[in-house]
Structure 1
Amino acid sequence: MTITDVTNMEKSYVSRLPELTLEEKVSLLSGVDFLHSDEVSRVGIPSIKLVDSINGIKGSEVQKNIRTAIFPSSTCYGSTWNHELMEMLGQRLAFQAKLKSAQVVLGPTINIHRDPRAGRNFECFSEDPLLSGQLGAAIVNGLQSQGVAACPKHFACNESEYQRRKYNVTESPNSRTTREIYFAAFQELLRHSNPFSLMISYNKLNGTYTTENSFLKKVLRDDWSFDNCLISDWYATKSGPQAVKAGLDLEMPGPSVFRGARLVAEVRKGDWDEAAIDECVTRVLALFDATKPSHSHAPESIAMDEESNKLIKRIASEGIVLLKNEGGLLPLHFDQSPKIAVVGVHATEPVICGGGSASATPQYLQKPLDCLIEAHPYPSMIQYARGVSINRVVPAMPLSQSRAKNGRPGFDVSYFSKSAKEPVLTEFQESPVVSLVRLLKPGLEEGGFYFEIATSLTPKYIGEHTFAARVTGAFELFVDNKLISSKPQQEVSMENFLFEPLHLEHRVNVSMPELRSYPIRLVMQNRLAKPGDYEPNPHGATLAFQEAIVNEEGIAQAVSIAADSDVSIVYVGRNGEYESEGFDMTKIALPEPQISLIKHVAAASKRTVVILYCGNPIDVTDFVDDVDSIINAHFPGQEGGQALTDILTGKVNPSGRLATSWPKRLDREHVPSFDSFRARLDNDQGYTIDYTEGIEVGYRAPTSAETSRWPFGFGLSYTTFNYSDLSVISEDGKVFVSLKVRNSGPVAGHEVIQVYVIPPSTASVWRPKRELKGFTKIWALPDQSVDVRVELDTKHAGSFWDESICQWHLESGTYGIIVGDLGDSFKVERELTWNGR
């Protein structure tokens, strides 16, 4: 290493700006590939790696099953209500990021649970901006304390997935709706942390794409004094100079579409000031400087990390919410040797994460059934029935039933150039999946090619079975040398390819009257890209197969073991085929086969427990009165099986509290956003979302107490807590809330203290009956009392956004404080208007 090399390492990256050419500066403003920024090796500026997510750090192999530690979903994080735990999470995520040689973690996602149909809600914390912002800030602080940058997302108003790259949210950036709810989560986050970067969303706000919207500078830069790096969501950038002018620093991914040579040429012509480029480059280089501790040339690792695993289980344990416990059924007393019926596919195939970019392959999978068997003193007293299937897409053809030409289980994949009869390449695979993005196989050209996936399949049963082709191009599917399905190319986008397998799927039922080997062949033409489509052209195909399923037989088996048991535990819920990035749900009830399973089991069983896997609320109307206990498991990560067992058996006292209201039903009476949630096609052939409910989101809605099945902040415990001695003191712009909390029940446990502010009766505008303005979580032994103190900032706790002056407005008057069943008040003598964080 030369003296010059050493000097370059010691200098800050920002200080090297004067040494860069215009071309080098512009190269730093966009990615070089899907995960990396560009580098300038001439002056020692490295590339940085940006990866998903705070639910599991991915490696470089975006399209492959690289194993990693899977943490719970963010709805579970929200339900912990635990700042300290979230900071610990951030620290472990930083450790995981370094194992994957990454410098930036894309998250946390702090968009709001506006509607229970939003596909990506599981990746977000809550319906409440204060809870979302503060817990998100704790994760940011934990990550960045270890030299890894956080990139909170998606600023702003990205609360729906359908047409998310196109829709326009019609709210003004200065409306109460945006300021008090959707901007407020980010504002709260910035009060309690200083993220080294922020991600900007796909959608439009008030008619302009967020990546080129002036509110980035007005709100983030001017009002909130945020001067760190702004990064586009992937392919969200829509322009060159306009986005630079708005303050968007880094276009991702690469290679660049709107920057690169196009932006250099515009500066050279004098159409654009190089000083604006320098501002953006400075912020990008500052991000590089902030992440120096995580720059490493070490190879990526998938090594197990016991500290992370322990934390995963603790977070799941603190976030799981006990929703119903009739007659004190839980915890189960295994010392009394109960006979247990375990029912449901999720007991052996648990759902640990939702779908989309937050999903990843776990290092291991804890089966709840195995954990229960291990906990029971007499394992033979546990019986299991699989129950019903709820697949939305047909599973990939199983390897065990396939046979390739070489005689091994597997698939032969052959690639052909244009209309050639002989393949240019043939490969053996153990998976019936082909995925070609950017990099084609040797001998193939984008202009035209095709490939085929071939195997021989032996069914387990005689009957009418389902075959499916999930394809991006025109295809033909042959079974037993007969053409059974074909279609020309359908409308398919990169979004569909990545996140919407159902959109790509074409099914057909085929009678297989013999238990013999059937030759199978799927032929797919290359996808033809639409003119002007600047995203990569994906070519993908999956050969799928599912034998006939008779749910009635599964239910009958479940009923049989339930009738012979003391307690039945039914594991049901959604998975990544229902809750995912890229699409929204249309209903919130469980799939009908699961509802039928629960009701039949409950009718036969002495006592029944239902475990719900979900990121969004579930309409439990059809079975809530039939069962004794209900647990919201969220998507609990790779330690979820043990965390659930610890709750069921009383090893852990449940302390999760809902971070989002669960409505009784999905209709306009119970969900304020019901009529205006999904983007609608407008007269200009664009997509529009109107936030017609305004600030009446979740518990803020006037009728929430009547329309909620379980309200925001709800959660049961195996012990009881008494609140007393509430004191509220207001001085020096602060409100100090003090009280005693006593564990008056039989077991030790956590309690969440929630502090709500009630507006003055003299308020000049409509305001919610109460708003969360502070919280903390305590631990107490039986009969132990804990002194609790929560500090509020008066202007943050009491202000509303005044649209008439485009500022926050703290009105004089008497404000109420509610903590549990206790109430007090504080006075504001002098009005105040303010802006900033």
Structure 2
Amino acid sequence: MKHKDLIRKMTLEEKASLMSGKNFWQTQNINRLGINSMFLADGPHGIRKQAAAADHLGLNPSIPATCFPTAATIANSWNAELGEKMGEYLGEEAVAQKVNVLLGPGVNMKRSPLAGRNFEYFSEDPYLAGKLAAGMIKGIQSKGVAACVKHFAANNQEERRMAIDTIVDERTLREIYLTAFEIAIKEGKAKTMMSSYNLLNGAYTNENIHLMRDILRDEWDFQGVVVTDWGGSNDRVAGLLAGNELEMPSTSGETNGEIVKAVKAGKIKEEVLDECVDRLLELIFTTEAVFEAEHKEIDVEKHHRMAQKVAEESIVLLKNEDHILPLKKGKRVAVIGDFAKEARYQGAGSSNINPTKLDRTLDFLDQSGIDSIGFEPGFERYGKKNKKKINKACDLAKEADVVLLYIGLDEVTEAEGLDRQNMKIPENQIELLHALYKVNANIVAVLSCGSVVEMPWIDKVKGLVHGYLSGQAGASAILRVLTGEVNPSGKLAETYPIRYEDTPSFYHFPGKEISVEYREGPYIGYRYYDTAGVKVLFPFGYGLSYTTFEYTDIEVGNESVAFKITNTGNFAGMEIAQLYVGCKSKAIFRPKKELKGFAKILLQPGETKTVTIPFDDKTFRYFNVKTNKWEIEQADYEILIGASSADIRLRDTICVEGTGAPIPYDNEKLPSYYSGHANNVSEEEFENLLGYKVPESKWDRTKRLGYNDTIAQCQYARGAFGKLAFYSISFTHWFLRKIGKRSTANLMMMSIYHLPFRGIARMSGGIVNMPMVDGILMMVNGRFFKGASHVLKERKKVVKSAK
């Protein structure tokens, strides 16, 4: 231990006090020993430090900070160096605001396009997500503060996120859901890790010994600090035994007391607590050192320009029929769509940034050189139909050579705590598009959303530019792409299926009651579509340019693959070359091919460059459930170089020596996995993959409600009070949506409806403690007066002890 002498000077109570927050965002301090508080702040794509009235959901404003593009956006840049540079800027702002730990980046996989927090995550591919996250982490931590990679692990839905049990086989867990975390820890050297809310195969993640000890500490040699997601602690002592140092936010000493009792009772050795304290102290001392030097004010303009550069490299050109883009000089342009007036540039919830400034399309039209003949909103932002707005937009479109149509998803559709209901953009926007098409077929759509949408309307647009959620400078970045000042170089970090029913998790997303079963195994995203032969709208890795590229001369060695790329067009441009590897052996089931490397290069017209992509420890490996470790199968492997997962330009074969591990599966028992058609696997076959019986997935409607049951389950409560509470919340939610208060309605679902009863104590900062929760449970379980009396009695104790 690095801080053994200091720890010796602490009382048991002081040690325990360091294990949970002082308040909503700060850790505990011990002044007599010179131990200061740390400040933790949300920040996957900007600093959200709240000066007062702290909350976790982004309700109250924070100190202004640069709002960079979200992870879903920057992932389309496929540029880890750019991510690292953006991380440096984030780190500078964290230092300026005296934030020790920046809570990001998030590297969870996009298992389903409907997951409500997809805008905060990079990709459906763990290798791409891990590499981009590692770059960002390096950048943030180069400034002396800590990055906190999250949410560990298999947290891929928002509904019931604090109580859902993720059931996933070990191989899929390792290869798909943990690999990005592994890269972030081993290559990015992240100093902190945030555990997720959910259970994983029966145990809460922050109490999961296999996840936290066997893998994170022992296998990956993680020496940093694990912090719970806010309110994500279930059993505090079990979490500490698993190596979860810091619980956030404060519980006003309640869980500290549990730790002290456990040590005195011999349930946990004091040395285990000392190890946790030592790691936390190391984080405090190493991050606070950077605040001692004098620091200049942040150059707001410089940081804004960086946000614009990131956005420019992340914009994806999806369609360019008749070379309608870049816009020709002198073309009369009608700008239509509410998002042109008020940009949709970030997600909602805990990552909501208060930007230092905000570019708006209408403010930049003149300087962009676009000859605009006017603007019409065309539609109501939150879905309400308005025929008058459509008519006015069509009148304007009739006068134009080209229509620039800004469409997408609104702020309350994509939000933390809620999953999307479908993959569609609002019907009123589609009605507008169809109406415009009748009067002017030269439509360029500019799409703003943080995740995948269906596009049955795509034949009605000649150009399609996807800006994703491009941050505070996104509007001007998109205009520069539209006019050709910037040649688009982004490529999709996720697949766009034709319809939601085509997705591999369609039958098993989200989990509605006790658990969610990952029956599709490793076949998520392009791994499924490619292997099963399912047609998609836009494949993984797809993106157009204003120039063209030719791939030639592949050479495969033992340690790398080299090839040449030539810019055969008339514009300078950047190309993203992608390395996929496919095993030719059929002994072990695998996706047809998997991403194992990529490179982004700039080429002038006519220029040729040789590109070398090295192989690494992840190029040929798979996780063997019999040996319980990573192995290599001896086989011939196809080395594929592509402009996307569906556009393979070069291929060769290499024979790789294996590790001689036994075949882990009986292929006759796993036909869906061996064929790749794993979108609707039977329970029996899934159990053969898991190696054990699938746990019960439905609530027991007959039992009394407990700590880990949710408010939603009050519909089955034994007592009238519980049922009344459920129906009151349900009615209020319905009514708020009816009167247009969708944000407030969403907040109810997120912070009340799906909240476990223990969360009332964990998130209230000590106002409600667990004995009071006992009383609330008595009330909903049919003993109203006894429960109410218990709540009042326990509340008096809390008030008295506070005095």
After TM superposition, the score normalised by the length of structure 1 is: 0.75
Cα distance in structure 2, aligned partners of 1:255 and 1:136: 31
Cα distance in structure 2, aligned partners of 1:305 and 1:21: 45
SS for the counterpart of 1:570 is strand
Q: Which deviates more from structure 2 when the two are superposed, residues 222-231 or residues 269-278?
A: 269-278
Question: Contact (CA 8 Å) 2:338, 2:381: kept in 1 or not?
Answer: no
Structure 1 residue ranges without an equivalent (≥5): 1-10, 393-548, 682-686
Q: Structure 1 residue 706: deviation in Å?
A: 3.4
Q: Structure 1 residue 802: deviation in Å?
A: 1.4
Q: Deviations over 1:328-385 (max 9, x none)?
A: 1000022xx111110011001001101110112212221112222322265xx43100
Question: Contact (CA 8 Å) 2:566, 2:609: kept in 1 or not?
Answer: yes
| Alignment pair present for 1:213 and 2:208 | yes
Q: Deviations over 1:56-94 (max 9, x none)?
A: 101233422532211111111110000110110110000
Task: Give the alignment partner of residue 11 of structure 2, picking from 11, 14, 21.
Answer: 21
Cα distance in structure 2, aligned partners of 1:770 and 1:54: 30
Cα distance in structure 1, aligned partners of 2:124 and 2:370: 42
Task: Give the alignment partner of residue 190 of structure 2, picking from 195, 200, 208.
Answer: 195
In structure 1, the partner of 2:380 is 389
Q: Structure 1 residue 13: deviation in Å?
A: 5.8
In structure 2, the partner of 1:441 is none
Question: Contact (CA 8 Å) 1:763, 1:811: kept in 2 or not?
Answer: no
Question: Contact (CA 8 Å) 2:48, 2:62: kept in 1 or not?
Answer: no
Question: Contact (CA 8 Å) 1:702, 1:768: kept in 2 or not?
Answer: no
Relative to structure 1, the CA distance from residue 370 to residue 13 in structure 2 (aligned partners, 3 Å threshold; closer, same or farther) is: farther
Relative to structure 1, the CA distance from residue 151 to residue 14 in structure 2 (aligned partners, 3 Å threshold; closer, same or farther) is: farther
In structure 2, the partner of 1:756 is 580
Cα distance in structure 2, aligned partners of 1:702 and 1:348: 37
Question: Contact (CA 8 Å) 2:160, 2:512: kept in 1 or not?
Answer: no
In structure 1, the partner of 2:523 is 696
Alignment of 1:374-773 (within 5 A): 374-376=367-369, 378=371, 381-391=372-382, 551-621=386-456, 623-667=457-501, 670-681=502-513, 687-703=514-530, 706-730=534-558, 735-759=559-583, 761-773=584-596
Question: Contact (CA 8 Å) 1:237, 1:258: kept in 2 or not?
Answer: no
Cα distance in structure 1, aligned partners of 2:176 and 2:203: 20
Question: Contact (CA 8 Å) 1:354, 1:575: kept in 2 or not?
Answer: no
Q: Deviations over 1:772-817 (max 9, x none)?
A: 0001111111111111111112x42111111222221201111110
AA at the equivalent of 1:659 = A
Task: Give the alignment partner of residue 240 of structure 1, picking from 207, 222, 236.
Answer: 236
Q: Which deviates more from structure 2 when the two are superposed, residues 64-73 or residues 240-249?
A: 64-73
Cα distance in structure 1, aligned partners of 2:47 and 2:625: 41
Q: Deviations over 1:77-114 (max 9, x none)?
A: 11000011011011000011112210100010000011
Question: Contact (CA 8 Å) 2:186, 2:220: kept in 1 or not?
Answer: no
Cα distance in structure 1, aligned partners of 2:489 and 2:319: 13
Cα distance in structure 2, aligned partners of 1:257 and 1:117: 38
AA at the equivalent of 2:310 = I
Relative to structure 1, the CA distance from residue 363 to residue 792 in structure 2 (aligned partners, 3 Å threshold; closer, same or farther) is: same
SS for the counterpart of 1:340 is strand
AA at the equivalent of 1:694 = G
In structure 2, the partner of 1:96 is 93
SS for the counterpart of 1:47 is coil
SS for the counterpart of 1:680 is coil
In structure 2, the partner of 1:525 is none
Question: Contact (CA 8 Å) 2:146, 2:192: kept in 1 or not?
Answer: yes
SS for the counterpart of 1:643 is helix
SS for the counterpart of 2:458 is coil
Question: Contact (CA 8 Å) 2:548, 2:567: kept in 1 or not?
Answer: yes
Cα distance in structure 1, aligned partners of 2:536 and 2:458: 14
Q: Structure 1 residue 272: deviation in Å?
A: 2.7
Relative to structure 1, the CA distance from residue 295 to residue 26 in structure 2 (aligned partners, 3 Å threshold; closer, same or farther) is: farther
Task: Give the alignment partner of residue 804 of structure 1, picking from 609, 626, 632.
Answer: 626
Q: Deviations over 1:193-236 (max 9, x none)?
A: 21111000000011111111112101111121112111110010
Q: Following TM superposition, where does structure 1 have runs of at least 4 consecutive aligned residues deviating by more than 6 angstroms?
A: 297-301
Cα distance in structure 1, aligned partners of 2:418 and 2:172: 24
Relative to structure 1, the CA distance from residue 785 to residue 583 in structure 2 (aligned partners, 3 Å threshold; closer, same or farther) is: same
Question: Contact (CA 8 Å) 1:201, 1:233: kept in 2 or not?
Answer: yes
SS for the counterpart of 2:344 is coil
CA RMSD of aligned residues (A): 1.9
Task: Give the alignment partner of residue 353 of structure 1, picking from 321, 340, 346.
Answer: 346
Cα distance in structure 1, aligned partners of 2:4 and 2:319: 56
Question: Contact (CA 8 Å) 2:168, 2:521: kept in 1 or not?
Answer: no
Structure 2 residue ranges without an equivalent (≥5): 55-59, 643-648, 663-803
Alignment of 1:811-822 (within 5 A): 811-820=633-642, 821-822=649-650
Cα distance in structure 2, aligned partners of 1:277 and 1:30: 13
Alignment of 1:15-54 (within 5 A): 16-54=6-44
AA at the equivalent of 1:799 = R
In structure 2, the partner of 1:365 is 358
AA at the equivalent of 1:750 = M
Q: Structure 1 residue 666: deviation in Å?
A: 0.9
AA at the equivalent of 2:536 = S
Q: Structure 1 residue 51: deviation in Å?
A: 0.5
Cα distance in structure 1, aligned partners of 2:110 and 2:162: 19
Cα distance in structure 2, aligned partners of 1:118 and 1:284: 32
Give the structure with the higher percent strand. Answer: 1
Q: Deviations over 1:387-426 (max 9, x none)?
A: 111327xxxxxxxxxxxxxxxxxxxxxxxxxxxxxxxxxx
Q: Structure 1 residue 698: deviation in Å?
A: 0.4
Question: Contact (CA 8 Å) 1:755, 1:772: kept in 2 or not?
Answer: yes
Q: Give the number of aligned pairs.
A: 647
Q: Deviations over 1:655-700 (max 9, x none)?
A: 0000000111011xx100011111122xxxxx21001111110000
Question: Contact (CA 8 Å) 1:12, 1:289: kept in 2 or not?
Answer: no
Question: Contact (CA 8 Å) 1:202, 1:210: kept in 2 or not?
Answer: yes
Cα distance in structure 1, aligned partners of 2:533 and 2:133: 27
Question: Contact (CA 8 Å) 1:13, 1:289: kept in 2 or not?
Answer: no
AA at the equivalent of 1:272 = I
Cα distance in structure 2, aligned partners of 1:13 and 1:345: 57
Cα distance in structure 2, aligned partners of 1:257 and 1:725: 66
SS for the counterpart of 1:267 is helix
Relative to structure 1, the CA distance from residue 773 to residue 580 in structure 2 (aligned partners, 3 Å threshold; closer, same or farther) is: same
SS for the counterpart of 1:105 is strand
AA at the equivalent of 1:382 = I
After TM superposition, the score normalised by the length of structure 2 is: 0.78
AA at the equivalent of 2:283 = L
Percent of paired sites with the same residue: 36
AA at the equivalent of 1:815 = Y
Task: Give the alignment partner of residue 331 of structure 1, picking from 326, 333, 349.
Answer: 326
In structure 1, the partner of 2:277 is 281
Relative to structure 1, the CA distance from residue 550 to residue 188 in structure 2 (aligned partners, 3 Å threshold; closer, same or farther) is: closer
In structure 2, the partner of 1:75 is 72
| Alignment pair present for 1:110 and 2:115 | no
Cα distance in structure 1, aligned partners of 2:10 and 2:293: 24
Q: Structure 1 residue 576: deviation in Å?
A: 2.2
